[in-house]
Structure 1
Amino acid sequence: MPNNANALWGGIFFSLAAGMMWGLVFVAPLMLPEYPGMLHTFGRYLAFGLIALPLAFVDRSEIKRLSRADWLTALKLAAIGNVLYYLLLSSAIQRAGGALPTMIIGTLPVVIAVAANLLNHQRDGRFPWLKLAPPLALILLGIACVNHVEWTALLQNPQADTGRYITGAVLAVGAMVCWTWYPLKNADWLRGHPDRNPRVWATAQGLATLPLALLGYAAFWLWSSATHNPLPMPLGPRPLEFIGLMMAIALFASWLGTLCWNAASQRLPTALAGQLIVFETLAAMSYTFWLRGQWPEPLTLTGIALLILGVLGGVRVKPVR
């Protein structure tokens, strides 16, 4: 019994640590607002790719086992689940602020279940629609509450750009679509290769991200030069802060956060681990309002509570074969 209790509390601690580190990616674009989403994205994944190089050297024998088809899959996952996802998310946060995009991404545990049904991803069975409906209703109501507060505050600012806010919301939905597709496809590969180490597969995706980030960074630099963009390249107006933030995000969010989550997943039942993903949303919202220097409005807190209840209720729904 004590061992089970230790494993439970250890798993909760690791999942909390993962959520706190993953929450950093939602506020990085707000910490350097003068840097466009492209630089945030390519800078982050360039740093992550460099971190993956020594990890790949350690696991070089396993890395060599990957076939050409495996690398092509890793490249697709890296392009959509890493680069495109964070490009959309960082751009959304800079346009709509941190609160609404965080809420939209926070719906992922339930949205993935919905997508699994719609896409006939029935390896584990289908999720009963009638049981998914109440959590979805709570989630939508929670997002509506937060959106109402953000939109009202926007309208009270005579210099605010409502079109920019709406564009940010649309980009956040696009990011959600990317990260709905990613875990389903990633799970397909892992289940199709049960003899492969998940850590090595994560490192392979980091390696696949590196050339994408290099090409993207170079293309943005060339585009900036051709269009006479006043942003000083290659490291922008605050190079030391930019390098430090990108390395911190790559190390803590991309690598250490995933490591903590894997440690939590080994100690916790799958159903409980799924529910604790809400730590990421809570951390991101806390960081957002801390940067703003204000407490959330009561309706915002209500919306966050509804989202959490919806996610917790949604991950409790079991697939039926």
Structure 2
Amino acid sequence: MLSGVLFALAAGLMWGLVFVAPVMLPNCPPALLTTGRYLAFGLIALPLALMDRRALRELTPADWWEAAKLSAIGNFLYYLTLSAAIQRAGAPLPTMIIGTLPVVIAVCANHRNRMRDGHLPWAKLAPSLALIAAGLALVNRDELAHLQAGNGDLRRYAEGALLAIAAVACWTWYPIRNADWLRAHADRSPRAWATAQGLVTGPMALVGLLAVGAVHLAAPGTLVPSGYAFPLGAQPLAFVGLMLAIGLLSSWLGTLCWNEASQRLPTSLSGQLIVFETLAALAYAFAWNQRMPPPATIAGVLLLIAGVMWALRIKPVKQV
């Protein structure tokens, strides 16, 4: 349990780095940040595959197909729907919907995997979920205020809401299916499984980058702003360095740590531990902007931590 929580914490610290990348490269379009990150992930996975070549050779065609599905849905489709949601509705609404992930995953996994992982009694789980939900609401208080103001086009907000719900569905599906494979293959290396996902992600990212380039040539300004120095931008060294850092730390190491956690923890619990990603992203953002978080955010963080600590005290009840 302790090692699983620590691995989930490490994964959250790695994944939180992704949220400051757009701030560090404010002029880089989301399509290039996404394809750049996963192309770097694929390139980094190539030398890492040498270390795990024996374990990778043991993967069956069905395993590789599962890795491809996880990468396509958990990486590309998730970021595609999230980016489209933000384009249509702005950041506030999608942020609030995506913020429900820890609760949604925990609820889905607690019902779906009760025979394998044991059932976390709903009466004991409810206070944890309530604390996490309240913490997310406080952390996103500014976003709630924006929504209550009723700003924006109603139709675009509705489209953005549907796309954000699709993003939640993608990343609810990913950790549950990923945990299914890892728990069914407890003798396999979580590191090799992370590398396998990188190997199948690289070609997808390359195809995506070529598609973005084709759209940029055919319809300038659609996905990439007019005048943008495609594909590396005005700061090529900063772009390449940041993509490599995120590809190594967020994509490969983050996935590795999450795989380790998924082998050790019930999925209903590990789903709640995704709040570590939210906490890390907040900490990095405030550090980058060199300012202290407001009292409401601090209170929200404390509630998130309290919710996680409450959940860790719950022992699964085996189903017969």
TM-score > 0.5, shorter chain as reference: yes
- Report the identity percentage: 59
Deviation at 1:100, TM superposition (A): 8.1
SS in structure 2 at match of 1:123 = helix
CA distance, structure 2, for counterparts of residue 309 and residue 179 of structure 1:
24
Q: Which residue of 1 aligns with 2:91?
A: 96
Q: Which residue of 2 aligns with 1:57?
A: 50
Q: Deviations over 1:57-95 (max 9, x none)?
A: 232232222222111111001111222234445666784
Q: Deviations over 1:31-75 (max 9, x none)?
A: 223222221111101001000011112322322222221111110
Q: Which residue of 1 aligns with 2:135?
A: 142
Paired residues, number: 306
Question: Does residue 1:287 correspond to 2:284, yes or no?
Answer: yes
CA distance, structure 2, for counterparts of residue 295 and residue 167 of structure 1:
34
Query: Which ranges in structure 2 are unaligned for 5 or more consecutive residues?
Result: none
CA distance, structure 2, for counterparts of residue 285 and residue 27 of structure 1:
9
Q: Deviations over 1:235-288 (max 9, x none)?
A: 23332221111111011222334556678899xx858x9587654332210112
RMSD: 3.7
Q: From 137, 150, 173, give the equivalent of 1:181.
A: 173
Contact 1:109–1:314 (8 Å) recurs in 2: no
Q: Which residue of 1 aligns with 2:67?
A: 74
Q: Which residue of 2 aligns with 1:236?
A: 233
Scaled by the length of structure 2, what TM-score is found? 0.78
Q: Which residue of 1 aligns with 2:308?
A: 311
Q: 1:150 to 1:165 in 2, by over 3 A?
A: farther
Q: 1:36 to 1:200 in 2, by over 3 A?
A: same
Q: 1:14 to 1:148 in 2, by over 3 A?
A: closer
SS in structure 1 at match of 2:140 = helix
Q: Which residue of 2 aligns with 1:31?
A: 24
Q: Which residue of 1 aligns with 2:215?
A: 223
Deviation at 1:114, TM superposition (A): 0.6
Structure 1 range deviating more: 233-242 or 37-46 = 233-242
CA distance, structure 2, for counterparts of residue 11 and residue 194 of structure 1:
14
Scaled by the length of structure 1, what TM-score is found? 0.78
Q: 1:91 to 1:224 in 2, by over 3 A?
A: same
Contact 1:15–1:261 (8 Å) recurs in 2: yes
CA distance, structure 2, for counterparts of residue 165 and residue 302 of structure 1:
29
| Aligned-partner residue type, residue 134 of structure 1 | P
Q: Which residue of 2 aligns with 1:197?
A: 189
Query: Which ranges in structure 1 are unaligned for 5 or more consecutive residues?
Result: 1-7
Contact 1:77–1:205 (8 Å) recurs in 2: yes
